[in-house]
Amino acid sequence: MHRLRFPILPLLLSALLAGCSNLPSMRDKPKSVYQGESFAAEETFSRLFDANVDSTCEAARRALLSQGYVISKADSGLVRGSKHFQPAGEVHMEIAFNVVCVGDGPKQQVATAYVSAQQDRYALKKSNQAASLGVSALGSISLPLSSSEDALVKVASETIPAGEFYDRFFTLMQRMLRENTSER
């Protein structure tokens, strides 16, 4: 009987070692999102405009309005707007813009517009309704109902990183700025 255990022990040991080699190592751990932040001096999210803070933010407000965005806030130096999309039957998207205008130069004659846009994706989810019936001797009983309720649930959210997206917005802002100054 001892002879059977001895040949099995090396087999079990080799199987154990083979199993351990398939475990993910610490090197395979995915990087955290913040590690991808380069904080480089790129101008994807900002542009310098030859106008003061109020005129620059007004150009941003007009650019968003001209594209169907609803403005939720427009104060001195700040514009917020959003637009809703439905690219598929059960998918809903929303793009929200945040524009901050900051004066630059000795007399604040020019301004930098800092822009970021966030895209949120929602999906239609169905949830079945259930009713609970409490009976003191038996406890509570859940009964399924035949109705279901639909709800939009946020399934993804990200800051839009595309440089071309912001380039188009800044170009439209520049056009709105020129049109606004030529009207004066």
Helix (H) / strand (E) containing 159:
strand 139-159
Residue 125 lies in a domain: yes
- The confidence score (pLDDT) of residue 145 equals 54
Find the CATH number of the domain harbouring 51: 3.30.310
Tokens of 53: 């803070």
Q: How confident is the model at residue 126 (pLDDT cuts 50, 70, 90)?
A: confident
Residue 22 lies in a domain: no
Residues composing the chain: 184
Q: Is the pLDDT of residue 184 over 90?
A: no
Q: Is the pLDDT of residue 94 over 90?
A: yes
Give the domain extent around 161: 42-133+148-184
Angle between helices 163-183 and 53-66 (to 10 degrees): 110
Q: Is the pLDDT of residue 54 over 80?
A: yes
Residue 26 lies in a domain: no
CA-to-CA distance for 32 and 55, rounded, in angstroms? Answer: 39
User: pLDDT tens digits, residue range 62-78?
Assistant: 999 999 999 999 998 99
- The confidence score (pLDDT) of residue 32 equals 78
User: pLDDT tens digits, residue range 7-53?
Assistant: 665 655 666 556 555 555 555 667 777 777 777 777 789 999 999 99
Q: Is the pLDDT of residue 149 over 80?
A: no
Residue 52 lies in a domain: yes
Residue 37 lies in a domain: no
Would you say the C-alpha torsion 6, 7, 9, 10 has a positive or negative sign? positive
